Amino acid sequence: ILIPGDKVAKGSKLRLGIAYRDRWYKNITPSIGEPLHEERVSINASADIPIFKHVILRPEYRMADRASNDPFRNYDNTISSLSVVYNF
């Protein structure tokens, strides 16, 4: 999505991040009877949007996908939030 420069508040910031981890454990995990294997992917995005002097609107989104051969460690997680920040 492209936003024209005159429509973006001066001082706005955008943060994006992605992380990937692939772990193989050496020892047998008793609950599954084999070595544990995990893959994790995390994505983060947030923005600081000035709305008044000293006041920032901060939307955030975080997603984590954890794949594992242990069903108790296999999950997806999504968090969205909206904050209003006052800077002194």
Return the pLDDT at 68: 95
Q: Are the beta carbons of 67 and 26 closer than 8 angstroms?
A: no
Q: Are the beta carbons of 39 and 63 closer than 8 angstroms?
A: no
pTM of this prediction? 0.73
pLDDT per residue as tens digits for the range 18-66: 999 999 999 999 989 999 999 999 999 999 999 888 899 999 999 999 9
pLDDT per residue as tens digits for the range 9-21: 678 899 999 999 9
Return the pLDDT at 10: 78
Confidence of residue 4 (pLDDT cuts 50, 70, 90): low
